[in-house]
Copies of this chain bind each other. A is one copy, B any other.
Amino acid sequence: MEKISFATYLQEKIDLDEKTIKKLYQKLTSEKHLKNEVLLKPGEVCSHAFFVEKGLLRLFSIDEKGKEHILQFAPEGWFIVDRSSMYFKETSQYYIDAIEDTSMVYINDQFLDFAGQKSPEFRKYNERLLHNHIRHLQNRINSLIAASAREKYQDFIALYPDLTLRVPQWMIASFLGITPESLSRVRRNLAKENFRPR
């Protein structure tokens, strides 16, 4: 996958002049984290949103039995954050970690305030992001309550076509709320039916 720099991303998404972008960008720190590094743990307050420039992050919980449940993946060009923890300053219930070596931009409250003051466009875009997030969550809930394991997997492929190859299968299962074995069988059946050579 191609690297997506945050500066380029802002230019595309928001109509800002170069000068403002530079001003914003130099307020930010960009960091690299290796695979398996943990960026947020339960009990901590989520103090940053992460914009993924290159690599892959995930947001997940661990239940009483020690099982992981993945709420979100964030490949290049995505944000990941426990928004309610960050906004309300509550301790989080969730983990964020790196599935691949990942370079990301750290975004904190000060930056958001600063950028919002500098540019009303940025403010608006931020609002847009929130609504986009809500749309995603809502669609996901609908899929979870309405669909079978098979359909959930198909919804997943439609949503993240590229991730199907990049993410280990047991993580996809964990995202869908099914076991790795079940997903394996779902895939076998799908392959049987839609057999197509490549």
Contacts and interface: CB of A to CB of B under 8 A. Distances in A.
Contacts of A61: 142, 146
**Is chain A's binding surface mostly helix, strand, loop or mixed?**
helix
Nearest to A176: B145
A195 interface: no
Interface in A54-84: 61, 63, 67, 69-71, 82-84
Interface size range of chain A in the complex: 20 to 34
Interface of A: 61, 63, 67, 69-71, 82-84, 87-88, 93, 127-128, 130-135, 137-138, 140-142, 144-146, 174-177
Given A83-B134, A88-B135, A134-B134, 7 more contacts: A69-B142, A71-B142, A83-B135, A84-B134, A144-B145, A145-B177, A146-B177
